[in-house]
Amino acid sequence: MGASEGRARRLGGGRSRCPYCGLPQERVATLGHEWVMLEPDLRPPAHEVPAGHRWIELSDGRVSVYGVCPPDQFQRCRIEHRLACPARLLPDLWPWLTDLRGEKARQAERPTAPEPPPPSERWPDAG
Ligand SMILES: [Zn+2]
């Protein structure tokens, strides 16, 4: 009934080939009734993955973004294939660092960078 056509291009399970790099990726349902393409067979510790990119598997097979912060030391997670895809640019994983670098670039372009204040010779009374 046509169901086999959809299955023919799959690699088994929810796996398919990434249209950018040709490597396998796994299509998994999310709690939000959408789909996410995950990197197959990879479950790094959640604390090594930037917040917002940690997908955890639920008992029904769906996945959800892991919201515990800081993450549990032993929690494993999954990541989207696009983070590992060699054919695509890495998304902005650390927005605050990107902002900081932008600010530093503006500082570096100024003709005279502001001098840091001289260290105080007098220490406050510590008692
Ligand atoms: Zn890819």
Q: Which of 15, 47, 104, 42 is nearest to 57 (CA)?
A: 42
Q: List residues bridging with 41 in a β-sheet.
A: none
CA of 48 to the centre of ligand 1 (A): 21
For residue 8, pLDDT beyond 60: no
3-state secondary structure 59-102: CCCCEEECCCCCCCCCCECECEHHHHCCCCCCCCCCHHHHHHHH
pLDDT in tens, 36-82: 999 999 999 999 999 999 999 999 999 999 999 899 999 999 999 99
CA of 90 to the centre of ligand 1 (A): 11
Rounded to whole angstroms, the Cα distance separating 75 from 44 reads 9
CA of 39 to the centre of ligand 1 (A): 9
CA of 44 to the centre of ligand 1 (A): 18
CA of 73 to the centre of ligand 1 (A): 29
CA of 40 to the centre of ligand 1 (A): 11
For residue 117, pLDDT beyond 80: no
Average pLDDT for the chain: 85
pLDDT in tens, 91-116: 899 888 999 999 999 999 987 756 66
**pLDDT value of residue 106:** 95
* Coil vs helix vs strand at 58: coil
- Sheet containing 15-17: order of strands: 15-17, 24-29, 35-38
Rounded to whole angstroms, the Cα distance separating 99 from 105 reads 10
**pLDDT value of residue 1:** 40
Q: Which of 25, 36, 83 is nearest to 61 (CA)?
A: 36
CA of 116 to the centre of ligand 1 (A): 46
* pTM of structure: 0.71
Rounded to whole angstroms, the Cα distance separating 9 from 5 reads 7
CA of 85 to the centre of ligand 1 (A): 4
* Coil vs helix vs strand at 107: helix
Show me where the domains of the chain are located: 3-108
